Chain A
Amino acid sequence: MVEGHVTISNLEKVYESGAERTKAIDDLSLEVPSGEFLSVVGPSGCGKSTLLYLVAGFLEASSGTMAVDDQSINGPGTDRGVVFQDYALFPWRTVMGNVTYGLEQNGVAKEERRSRAQRFIDMMDLDGFEDKYPKELSGGMKQRVALARTLAYDPKILLMDEPFGALDQPLRELLQDHLLDIWRDLEKTVMFITHDVEEAVYLSERVMIMTRHPGTKKASVEIDVDRSQDREDIIMSDEYTDMKNQVWQSLREETQPEKQL
């Protein structure tokens, strides 16, 4: 697996509205090797979502370069798939219609796209709900449909914008473990935005902490745990707690900068 390598160098994003210029991201360089699970945490307003939407190609960089496997990022592309916090499902399409959407856009024949979509619907425990519309589903189910929809067209890179932020704790943990299984099975590169330190450390191989406004890379913590263990064993271990504290402290310096003085 050599695909899905993200390279970002000297990225800068300035929002302009009238005479006002707001620098959201400043001189950010980052490598995400293919197959890595990277989380990005930062104080709110640090531009972490902006970073994700830049990589997705939804926003244009003010300067700097971004590339996937040496292909410069120039608008949205099917090599990257975004999972939004608010699901962004098409309300006029059924579960099946949403999950087949990407395949339909890329000219896959009807029978083929239904059978491929079914695999991800089953993977997400959504079988039996194929003909439901989004408004008939709970938040957790909507997010599973959104994940299935993105996985179905097989992007190399998953870009996730606080996807579990609107869900309650037990559901969030369930979907986190689900996501880890998928990541292992399908070998995707993942960039996961969150403000939840616990979530970031539990899911990722590496956590990047961003500075407060304007956002840039502050620190990066390798999360080296034996992921063959159960959740309880992982989060109870000393090394996990250490790494979590490291991330937490680094983030805390950003959220309470006056303490640094």
Chain B
Amino acid sequence: MSYANLRLADVEETVPESIQRPVRFLLEWIPLFIVIGFWEFASGVFVPSVVLPPPSEVASVTWELLVSGDVLPHLQISLFRVGVGLALSISIGVLLGVGMARSDPVEDFFEVFLALIYPIPKAALVPLAILWLGVGTETAVLIVFLACLLPIVLNSYNSARDVDQNLIWSAQMMGMPSWKIPLKVVIPATIPSILTGIRQAIPIAFIALVSAELIASNEGVGFEILRYSEVGAYTHMFAVLVIISAAAFFAVRGYEWLEQKVVRWT
């Protein structure tokens, strides 16, 4: 058997189970290592190392920032903002999505607002948010909230709309009053899609966070990126980028892991 055509998607069928995990890991990460290799080689040779610091240097600065703890308060405040923004968009987005799916007046009322918010780049709202809420956490939270709202509304709306009528009838025939149906049947039946919406919203939350912090913050990871670039500490700027990318990556992976553990029935 030749592994020359081995693809990530085929690992399960083509590789013995005992080595599936390491093989999957290698296949997933090899492209990144290749690019890092070229980058290391090119930095200082084709491109001045001031504008493109070599990965080895970025790595050591990243380590330094983490060990010295310099970046940690910023990471902490950023994660807090992402967390609050996401939590708000989940609680309001699910209610809005399910409400719009199951009630025509609710849909008619909110549809126009969502249609208007949808195409605006959320970063364009930062100056307005500063005007209303000032520079700081509130503004970042608002931008994260707005950016995450739509994927969550859309996912819960679509699936709440298509809830199996027989499930609703089943609950009714067993004596459930109609007013309990949305909470006890529609929302549970919508949970798999809500979880997908949250999964889509996590990376969006980080994008929105950094774009808000670049403009409207005196702390946080986005602020650190801007501060280091303004003083010409590009290696440090890269290091903070690595840290926030890693945080977003592990947030998604951690969420997927948790989802599998907690929601066994989907």
Contacts and interface: CB of A to CB of B under 8 A. Distances in A.
B174 interface: yes
A75 B173 CA distance: 9
Contacts of A58: 169, 172-173
A161 B176 CA distance: 21
Contact of B174 (A105, A133, A134): A105
B167 interface: yes
Given A84-B166, A133-B265, A135-B265, A91 B172 contact: no
A203 interface: no
Contact of B164 (A82, A88, A93): A88
A77 interface: yes
Interface string A36-59: 000000000000000001001110
A88 B176 contact: no
A192 interface: no
Indicate the member of B164, B171, B172, B185 with the most A CB atoms within 10 Å.
B172
Given A92-B265, A135-B265, A101 B166 contact: no
Interface in B149-190: 164, 166-167, 169-176, 185, 188-189
B191 interface: yes
Contact of A88 (B170, B175, B265): B170
Secondary structure at the B interface, as helix, strand, loop or mixed, is: helix
A76 B166 contact: no
Nearest to B187: A92
A105 B167 contact: no
A92 B188 contact: yes
Interface in A148-171: 149, 153, 155
Nearest to A53: B169
B264 A90 contact: no
Indicate the member of B164, B173, B265 with the most A CB atoms within 10 Å.
B173
Interface residues of B, number: 18
Contact of A76 (B164, B169, B191): B169
A92 B174 contact: no
B173 A76 contact: yes
Contacts of A101: 171, 174
A129 B190 CA distance: 25
20 contacts: A56-B173, A57-B173, A58-B169, A58-B172, A76-B172, A77-B173, A77-B175, A86-B166, A88-B164, A90-B167, A90-B171, A90-B188, A91-B189, A93-B265, A105-B171, A105-B174, A133-B265, A149-B174, A153-B175, A155-B173
> Nearest 8 CB-CB pairs, A to B?
A102-B174, A88-B166, A105-B175, A133-B265, A76-B172, A76-B173, A92-B188, A88-B170
Given A58-B173, A133-B265, A135-B265, 17 more contacts: A56-B169, A56-B173, A58-B169, A58-B172, A78-B174, A80-B173, A81-B173, A88-B166, A88-B167, A88-B170, A90-B188, A90-B189, A106-B174, A106-B175, A133-B264, A135-B266, A149-B174
